[in-house]
Structure 1
Amino acid sequence: MTEPKAEKTVHGELQAPAGQDTNGITVGRWSSPVIPDEPESFMSSNVNVEACCPFLPLAQIEVRLGLTSYGPALTWYSVAYGLQGLAFVAMWFFVALWINSQAYRDSTSVLLRIVLILAAVALAALPSLLLVHRISTLRAAVRERFDIPGSLREDRTAAWQETSRAIRQMRRHLKIDRAKSCGPVSTLPAYAV
């Protein structure tokens, strides 16, 4: 096994090889990669809480880091994902009307139909961008607190392209994936607000 090479942190100085803090959380590197080295089973990669109900683990991550309490975090993420879902339903509803309903096509202009679909797309894009921004901010906070090398660009890329895997990586690193409930987790003592 090779020695871990010293890499520059976001602050520029060289870091020591990875260790663990007093809470047993790995310091200096991620405890698991965003994209696993070995293929994961279908159940762990596709049918997991990060993909099906991402608002639960995101709220748990915020509580674990001491950024907020569980109720407001869960509410914020639930509203954001709910708005996104409603916008997608509205978009497909207008597309289905356009395709399948002659009466709808006769009673509305093409311009109005296009505007309605674009409005639904814009309504879906807003919560999507806010969620990607928040997930990348959470990932950056984890990186900085545990002196993990990387950049904000990598955090944004992971949040945009591998959203559920980035959430799973943070959950595994903060040892939240061992929680058996969907409720709040304990805040790390060093990070209590």
Structure 2
Amino acid sequence: MRKIGGFRFFNQTGDQVYERAPYSHTVAWLQLTATKASGMEYTCVYWVQDSGQQIHSNRSLPLSIKVQDAPMAPVLSLDPQQPVYRYGNNVKLLCNAPLPSFYIREFQYYADFGLAISIPVWKVENYSYNLKITGGEVSGSYSCAYFVFQSGRVVRSESSLWVNVYVKSQPISWIREIVIGGSFFTINGLIFFFSHHLKKKR
């Protein structure tokens, strides 16, 4: 009994793009990354070994792969727009999509330090995320994207341009300086008082 020896895959120009061999199973697959360059027709063949020779099957019917561009990038803005934010402030990250709201299923917000927040939505063209300025850890660059239902599946848009949220370090208040300074002089005064008192006893 003849056994399958392997599979070969070809693009529409006839060039071999992948070979799976040796391979004895009856099913093989070609994994593609969806890019404009990969959008074309593909065919495949298999072969069997017979007396040390490869006997190829006829080529399969062509399968067409269509690759569409990702939906256009949204625009991310800040409200209020300020060069510097301080502890205790709130700033809204507003992601504005260029598509009709009916198609949008979700917004996502990203930060360059690893933050990722998903917000399911329905029939809105923009959605804001309220960022609380709790400390320097939220200082960084932010971006957003949206997801639409397209061709029977959920598709992510291109990412927006990055916007910067700069958080200024919390300064020491003048009251705190007075308290700390007053404590310093009080402690030193007590040390001087007890030292002077001990000397008088001697």
Output the TM-score relative to the length of structure 2. 0.18
Q: Which has the higher contact order (CA 8 A, sep 6+)?
A: 1
Larger strand proportion of the pair: 2
Output the TM-score relative to the length of structure 1. 0.19
